[in-house]
């Protein structure tokens, strides 16, 4: 079972995702061996590898959209419990209280966000009337924020602390007062070439949810970042997500979702 190397080997988010993948595969009762791509790969290329009949990948993880669900086999267990939709911002150092007077999402229209051009977040923010400046590479966004090309870089509470530590030479800090929230999920997506893998992984993750091992894994890896984000003391700005289909998210299953 082949998957892309999307992040550095020691990235905490990737460590958690791979631990969740291992948990699901173990609980499936099937003998799968996972193999990483030899080189780091952009998400867009990884998706094309999954779609190709001669593709070198079987699985990846990414934020869901109706388009991705139509192209690939979505394993609809939100391995992030929806945390990818809880976003706090990196800002230029000295601007940690830039949003202290922002009370609703409309107030953010006076500020520009930075995002990569092909991320789902870009159309989500724009559809809510929020200005977005785009870049063609992830690393460029940190330089652009440092250079005041935009005002804030919204990141999930799962990602932001590691990213802040990895960019000490950029004059950045974490904004203190607001959190953006929109409905989404981080899913495993499987190539249409491997329907048996999608079925087995879904069954395995359902078993892990049922026996509590998924929740324990989630808390072990992600609870420190959640606590550090201090969501309960931030103003929540709710946004809509037009990229979802009517059946994109499993509803009425509170055990699958994080709630502050």
Q: Are 218 and 255 in contact (CB under 8 A)?
A: no
For residue range 135-156, list pLDDT tens digits in order. 998 999 999 999 999 999 999 9
**Residue corresponding to tokens 């078993």:** 207
250: nearest Cα among 180, 185, 178 = 185
How far apart are the C-alpha atoms of 80 and 63, rounded to whole Å?
A: 10
pLDDT in tens, 13-51: 899 999 999 999 999 999 999 999 888 888 889 999 999
Instruction: Dump pLDDT digits (tens) for 153-211.
Output: 999 999 999 999 989 888 999 999 999 999 999 999 999 999 999 999 999 999 999 99
Token code pair at residue 185 = 């999920």
The gap from C-alpha 110 to its chain's centroid, in whole angstroms, comes to: 25
Q: How far apart are CA 146 and CA 152, in angstroms?
A: 10
Domains and CATH numbers, the chain: 2-82+185-228 (3.40.190.10), 83-181 (3.40.190.10)
Residue 20 φ then ψ, to 5°:
-65, -40
């Amino acid at each position: 079972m082949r998957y892309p190397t999307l992040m550095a080997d020691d990235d905490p988010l990737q460590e958690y995702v791979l631990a969740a993948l291992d948990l699901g595969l173990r609980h499936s009762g099937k003998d799968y061996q996972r193999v990483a791509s030899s080189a780091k790969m952009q998400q867009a290329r990884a998706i094309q590898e999954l779609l190709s009949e001669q593709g070198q990948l079987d699985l990846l993880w990414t934020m869901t959209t109706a388009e991705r669900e139509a192209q690939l086999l979505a394993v609809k267990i939100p391995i992030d419990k929806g945390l990818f939709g809880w976003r706090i911002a990196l800002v230029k150092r000295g601007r940690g209280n830039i949003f202290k007077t922002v009370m609703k999402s409309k107030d953010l229209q006076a500020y520009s966000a930075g995002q990569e051009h092909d991320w789902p977040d870009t159309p989500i923010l724009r559809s809510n009337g929020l200005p977005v400046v785009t870049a063609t590479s992830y690393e460029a966004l940190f330089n652009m924020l440092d250079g005041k090309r935009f005002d804030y870089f919204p990141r999930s509470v799962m990602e932001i602390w590691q990213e802040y530590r990895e960019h000490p030479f950029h004059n950045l800090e974490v904004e203190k007062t607001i959190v953006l929230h929109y409905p989404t999920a981080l899913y495993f997506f499987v190539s249409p070439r491997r329907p048996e893998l999608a079925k087995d992984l879904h069954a395995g993750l359902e078993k892990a949810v049922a026996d509590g091992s998924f929740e324990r894994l989630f808390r072990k890896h992600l609870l420190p970042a959640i606590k550090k984000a201090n969501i309960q003391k931030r103003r929540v700005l709710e946004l809509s997500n037009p990229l979802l289909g009517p059946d994109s998210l499993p509803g009425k299953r509170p055990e699958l979702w994080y709630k502050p």
